[in-house]
Amino acid sequence: MSGDPSALLGRLSLNQETVRQWSLPELADGCARAGVRGVGLWRAPVQEYGVRAAARLVRDAGLRVTSLCRGGFLTATDPGERAAALEDNRAAVDEAAALGTDTLVLVSGGLPAGSRDLAGARERIADALGELGPYAAERGVRLALEPLHPMYAADRCVVSTLAQALDLAERFPAAQVGVVVDTYHLWWDDTVGAQIARAGGAGGTPSRIAAFQLADWVTPLPAGALLGRGQLGDGSVDLRWFRRRVEAAGYRGPIEVEIFQPALWARDGAEVLAEIVDRFRTHVG
């Protein structure tokens, strides 16, 4: 499949947050016009539009929802906060199922205020996965643990490497918990190639790769470090190397472009999407 550019383009999915200037109808229409067949959606705009209406909208546009962002934030120690997080994650699973996607991306959560206990936070995530995994799998949804770049370890996600995500995921059935391979978060890690092979089931185990997301790494980082992702090809990441590695690990699913960057949001959405398609051909295909 990797040898056929048109087949590869058929796997391209546009994460909604990449073109947040677009409303949901604009997104559905814009993707259909550009020949992009997949979209990754976010809970807030979907809830605002209405979950069922959003599901109908993307289905009518001939689009597949490749993932829903995001559940997670499972590291609270306070029992009330913890119960609320679990309840919110069950709602996220329901929304994913309603949208027809089998992938709910989880951003696991950072350290509670004042805590320095990374190991404890990681164990609370494991406990939560144990509670949420069966609920998700019964609804045809897999929890997709996303390791985030280590610069987010304190405030967003204490799962910082693909190895850590797999250590957690492998405690549960593969139908319940998978992992996200996102180039932005993982590009710097010299063990990521080996870990992608592990995720793909190198030992004869079922694949854990639930999603494959692309963004490039550009510097300098903006304040807060959240909105500085680069357009494909603008930065340091060997995107094609990543695609080849996930394919060598057996992954043939959607390839989602997820770039948080105000400069892209300030432009015409169709122009941004056309540029993404072009960059995708050049740097990924």
- Residues lying near its own copies in the complex (CB under 8 A) are found at 111, 115-119, 122, 149-151, 153-155, 158, 160-161, 164, 187-190, 217-225, 235-238, 241
Residue placing its CB nearer to its own copies in the complex, 103 or 160: 160
Shortest Cβ 150–its own copies spacing (Å): 4
Amino acid present at 38: G
Shortest Cβ 221–its own copies spacing (Å): 5
> 3-state class of 147 per DSSP?
coil
Task: Judge contact between 36 and 14, C-beta under 8 A.
Answer: yes
Task: Judge contact between 211 and 253, C-beta under 8 A.
Answer: yes
Residue placing its CB nearer to its own copies in the complex, 78 or 123: 123
Shortest Cβ 152–its own copies spacing (Å): 9
Q: Which two tokens stand for residue 91?
A: 């709602």
Half-sphere exposure of 32 (CA within 13 A, CB side): 13
Residue placing its CB nearer to its own copies in the complex, 7 or 151: 151
Residue placing its CB nearer to its own copies in the complex, 19 or 166: 166
Task: Judge contact between 129 and 136, C-beta under 8 A.
Answer: no
User: For residue 140, is it left (φ>0), alpha (ψ between -120 and 50) or beta?
Assistant: left
Shortest Cβ 159–its own copies spacing (Å): 9
